[in-house]
Amino acid sequence: MSSFSCSSCGHSSPRWFGRCPECGAWSTATEPPQQRAGERLDLSVLAATTATPERIRTNVDELDRVLGGGIVPGAVVLLFGDPGAGKSTLATQLMAGVARDGRSALLISGEESPQQVALRAQRLDADLGDIRIASSRSLPAVISTATAERPDVLVVDSIQTLEDPRFDQSAGSVVQVRECAAALVAHAKASGTSMVLIGHVTKDGTVAGPRTLEHVVDVVLGLEGDRDHALRLLRATKNRFGPCDETGVFAMRKDGLHGVADPSSMLLEDRCDGVIGSCVFPGSQGSRPMLLEVQALVSRSEGGQPRRVAMGIEQRRLALLLGILSKSMRLKFGTDDVFVSVAGGIAVREPAADLALCLALHSAKHDLALPPKTVAIGEVGLGGEVRRVTNVERRLTEAHRLGFVRAFVPPGTERAPRGMRLHCVDHVGAALARLERVETAV
């Protein structure tokens, strides 16, 4: 272990030196300060420590479910999403819900004036109790106000508008976002105030901002959805106090966000059987299955570079599946434009959707609709093999509930709901061959 270091260049050496062998400076050897004994820590017996914190219910049912029953006092929740996703709306509903139980809420709005916020609240027809609001962008002012007011829940909309005057950078820069969040987290822990920090992300989610905060907060919630569609998904990607695979489903209506009990029906409302390039995939969002329609369009390219456009599906996943179909099935898309999307503006991140996407691509390429009332589940490996995925039974039950009678599933799937026909396929080629047989039989 080195115990001396040069105060000029940082060179370290196990022995004292008069002249630094590295930079040649004299008398720069310094000994690191000795670690002093600190205070002894108070220990608790883990088994005797209560592990179920009391929670503040937000009375927005879908939100409470995702949080694991409500917000824990002193916890900091980061709520992020694209502009227009409905973050401010959800935060207003949350404050109204908290106020309904006689708790206090304080909103710091750096983006909107109190009048604008009041206008939104009117639309929601929410009972606002005595929710207080201030428009401010100054971190010290926010902390002093929160210290004096001691609200049960403090909402900051948004963290990118706050500024700590100790730093030169402008609001929204990585340094400001990080420092302001750190100060707020420290305040939350010291005072027991629960906080919701709202943050924007851009479409690709790459802008440094809220993402850099994920490790300092207790809970990270993402609100997803397309502005052109009503459906919104609220997903927990981190939760120190509850489940983190839970998903809340809302519909944005003219009077705010409403919980959706049966998202599958809502998503399949406009779907007709017999459409070319369409396949239904029973997705699994947290504890609830949700049927999604995967669509593909293949058309002759007008020249130039053929286009590959994926909406709601990762671009790389599409490229991979096209590669697999081309290599193991000789299904070539060479000069075709290929578009894929998920109806309803939902993003699918599960590899379990691979098989459905392959069937949709095959259908689009050959202008042949899938047999009616068919779903497909399965991850497709690089060799075209179909792999098992989680929750197959639950997915099939949901598909059956909505009237589907045929399912392409990974090998080893045994239990099917009564009246549902299973095709266990171990390779994407087997699925396509089976499909052709079914098509000729129909």
The site for ligand TYD (CB under 6 A) is made up of 81, 83-89, 120, 123-124, 252, 254-256
Query: Are the beta carbons of 162 and 110 closer than 8 angstroms?
Result: yes
Nearer to ligand TYD, 234 or 322 (CB): 234
Q: Does 5 bind Mg ion (CB under 5 A)?
A: no
Total residues binding Mg ion (CB under 5 A): 1
Nearer to Mg ion, 107 or 352 (CB): 107
- Give the residue among 114, 167, 157, 162 at the shortest CA–CA distance from 138: 162
SS3 of 380-402: the string is: ECCCCEEECCCCHHHHHHHHHHC
Q: Using CB under 5 A, which residues numbered 242 to 301 contact Mg ion?
A: none
**CB under 5 to 8 A by kind: which of Mg ion, ligand TYD, none does 255 bind?**
ligand TYD
**CB under 5 to 8 A by kind: which of Mg ion, ligand TYD, none does 199 bind?**
none
**CB under 5 to 8 A by kind: which of Mg ion, ligand TYD, none does 110 bind?**
none
**CB under 5 to 8 A by kind: which of ligand TYD, Mg ion, none does 307 bind?**
none
Q: How many CA atoms within 13 Å lie on the side-chain side of 319?
A: 6
What stretch of H or E contains 320? Answer: helix 315-329
Query: Are the beta carbons of 123 and 142 closer than 8 angstroms?
Result: no
**CB under 5 to 8 A by kind: which of Mg ion, ligand TYD, none does 81 bind?**
ligand TYD
Residue span 47-86 as binding mask against Mg ion, x where in contact by CB under 5 A, dash where not: ----------------------------------------
**CB under 5 to 8 A by kind: which of Mg ion, ligand TYD, none does 300 bind?**
none
> How much is the CA Rg of the chain, to the nearest whole Å?
28
- Sign of the CA dihedral with 309 first, then 311, 316, and 319 last: negative
- Dist CA 392 CA 356 (whole Å): 14
Nearer to ligand TYD, 78 or 376 (CB): 78
Instruction: State the minimum distance, in angstroms, from the CB of residue 111 to ligand TYD.
Output: 8
**CB under 5 to 8 A by kind: which of Mg ion, ligand TYD, none does 86 bind?**
ligand TYD
Residue span 100-129 as binding mask against Mg ion, x where in contact by CB under 5 A, dash where not: ------------------------------
Query: Are the beta carbons of 378 and 389 closer than 8 angstroms?
Result: yes
Nearer to ligand TYD, 75 or 257 (CB): 257
Q: How many CA atoms within 13 Å lie on the side-chain side of 400?
A: 14
Instruction: State the minimum distance, in angstroms, from the CB of residue 85 to ligand TYD.
Output: 4
β-sheet with 256-259: strand ranges across: 132-135, 105-109, 153-157, 194-200, 76-81, 219-224, 231-239, 247-253, 256-259
Instruction: State the minimum distance, in angstroms, from the CB of residue 406 to Mg ion.
Output: 44
- Dist CA 221 CA 217 (whole Å): 11
Nearer to ligand TYD, 124 or 402 (CB): 124
Instruction: Name the β-bridge partners of 195.
Output: 76, 154
Instruction: State the minimum distance, in angstroms, from the CB of residue 114 to ligand TYD.
Output: 15
**CB under 5 to 8 A by kind: which of Mg ion, ligand TYD, none does 89 bind?**
ligand TYD
Residue position matching structure tokens 């227009």: 84
Nearer to Mg ion, 200 or 362 (CB): 200
SS3 of 96-112: the string is: HHHHHCCCCEEEEECCC
Query: Are the beta carbons of 251 and 233 closer than 8 angstroms?
Result: no
Q: Does 88 bind Mg ion (CB under 5 A)?
A: yes
Instruction: State the minimum distance, in angstroms, from the CB of residue 230 to ligand TYD.
Output: 8
Contact residues toward Mg ion (CB under 5 A) are 88
